[in-house]
Amino acid sequence: MIERLLKKLSRYGPPSAEECTALAGIMTPVRRFSAGQEVIQQYSAPKESTVLLSGMMGRLVTLRGGTQQITALQVPGDFVDLHAFLLARMDHSVVAMNACETTTAPHSELRRLCDRYPRLARALWYLTVVDASIHRHWITVFGRRDAIARAAHLLCELHVRLEDVGLTDDGQFELPLTQAHAGDVLGLSAVHVNRVIQELRARSVVTWDRRRVQIKDWDALVDIAEFDATYLQLVPQVET
Amino acid sequence: MIERLLKKLSRYGPPSAEECTALAGIMTPVRRFSAGQEVIQQYSAPKESTVLLSGMMGRLVTLRGGTQQITALQVPGDFVDLHAFLLARMDHSVVAMNACETTTAPHSELRRLCDRYPRLARALWYLTVVDASIHRHWITVFGRRDAIARAAHLLCELHVRLEDVGLTDDGQFELPLTQAHAGDVLGLSAVHVNRVIQELRARSVVTWDRRRVQIKDWDALVDIAEFDATYLQLVPQVET
DNA sequence: CGGCGCATTGAGGGCGGTCAATTGGTGTGG
DNA sequence: CCACACCAATTGACCGCCCTCAATGCGCCG
């Protein structure tokens, strides 16, 4: 069930069979969510952490005045709110972008595992640190890239992350976002997202129609985005 | 020496005296850096992690074309590159903004400590998760706030963080940034940083002269920034 | 005194915002 | 099967924030 998660964990040195079994053993039964549903509420204090099994979720912050910002998108295999294991309160909500399946790990059990298996604890720690690396990278994207580069960057990142979990098909992938949601991810208005997508289409770089993205010219997209996948940390670590 | 770090750690349940001694015991002698000096290089693979004792540092990313983005500022007591304990390569460099003192913890020793003291390991993990929370928050600032709100937000955050380590004086604090550096932090041009500062000055909210900031109207500043310190996690956690 | 780094100011322009109307696709009830 | 509602995508007009370029002021140091 959590193979994708175990794959991500194994980048920080493969966990032992015992550790895998132990982790799998504390996961609760599958839960399902439909598009738009709030999976975790802002300001709540979860007693368990959620692994996304299928679908796509977003970390959503709602500001004064009602504008929203999505600070991260989650793909299958992601431990959506592992940071809540350490932090008392959620600083954002988690919303299902389409139909999703999840399983959860109770914090009490996680704590027991971490006490017993220090390397597993570090591998989980590693996941949250990769998350932070992605956040940092998006800060530079927001600070120093224009709209078209941001959009291209999002598509590059999602393609790489989805490919990693086997959810791409020859440059195509599902992207269950309306243009308004994409604006919330990119820090743009929905109108401008539309214009940017059209620009990418006009340049024959990408098509994005009906929740489906097709990358037609990867090199051009990477160039527009100034994309370098290093920050995603998909290359296995070597514990020194 | 590392009292400020221990204070931050203790927010995630106070470490035992034994844990404190153990951590203090692995720190290397004090190292000094001068303004502008590169403390850790982008793409390097550090074998130790650095604690900032005094001064201010920034995490700097240099982009194609030479533009820069500072993704975070570090204040005394911060574990500047603790994430490098888990991640093989630095995705950014760390630069001293003024004269700084540091001490470091060798990764091999850290690993030994984490194996032996699971709660200490979690407290360190907690520090990196707070970092990520700050990153996430800045994503919303970049995505949805205009220039003056960003600048105000930076000043609010720094005042709170510096106050926490006892480095403010009645609304005043040292801010060793040129306006150009502030632009690299805020994702703005140096010129516009200047105009925004003048605007804050004109509104009698803040003065910022010669590396020294004086907040004259905290409430107004908070209002402009739409600032809420929750994301800084300065309130102690309760381990449940 | 001259050089240098930083702050400040002005002019002009473009990126991306808002507002509002239109198109088109999908689903539903009659 | 069609009418209608609804949501998402698209388009146009207009405008303001923040950019770039460039010049000037100012404090400090050699």
Q: Does A11 touch chain B (CB under 8 A)?
A: no
Closest nucleotide (CA of A196 to C1')?
A: C16
Q: Which of A47, A70, A86 to mutate to test the interface with B (most CBs of B within 10 A)?
A: A86
pLDDT at B88: 86
Residue A238: predicted pLDDT: 63
Nearest nucleotide over every DNA/RNA strand to the B180 CA, judged by C1'? C6
Q: Which residues of chain A have pLDDT under 50?
A: none
Residues 23-62 of chain B sitting with CB below 7 angstroms of strand C: none
**One-letter amino acid of A48:** E
pTM of the model: 0.95
Which residues 28-87 in chain B show a CB within 8 A of chain A? 45, 47, 59, 61, 63-64, 67, 69, 71-72, 83, 86-87
- Please give the pLDDT value at position A64: 86
- Is residue B112 less than 8 Å (CB to CB) from chain A? no
pLDDT digits (tens, 9 = 90+) for B1-26: 899 999 999 999 999 999 999 999 99
Indicate yes or no: strand D within 7 A of the C-beta of B146.
yes
Mean pLDDT of B61-80: 95
Res. B235: pLDDT tops 80 = yes
Rounded distance, CA B36 to CA B44, Å? 18
pLDDT digit string (tens) for B177-200?
999 999 999 999 999 999 999 999
D21 closest protein residue (CA to C1'): B191
**Phi first, then psi: what are they for A21, rounded to 5°?**
-60, -45
Nearest residue of A to residue B188 by CA position?
A143
Neighbours of B87 (CB within 10 A): 21
In three-state secondary structure terms, A52 is strand
**CB A118 to CB B121 under 8 A?**
yes
Q: Tokens 């035992």 label which residue?
A: B16
What percentage of chain B exceeds 90 in pLDDT? 94
Q: How confident is the model at residue B239 (pLDDT cuts 50, 70, 90)?
A: low
Exposure letters B5-43 (e unless 16+ CB within 10 A, then b): bbebbebbeebeeebbebbeebbeeeeebeeeeebbeee
A-facing residues of B in 173-202 (CB < 8 A) are 184, 186-187
pLDDT at B67: 94
Which bases in strand C are touched by protein, i.e. have an atom under 7 Å from a CB?
Answer: 5-11, 15-20, 25-26
CA–CA distance, A237 with A143 (Å, rounded to integer):
29
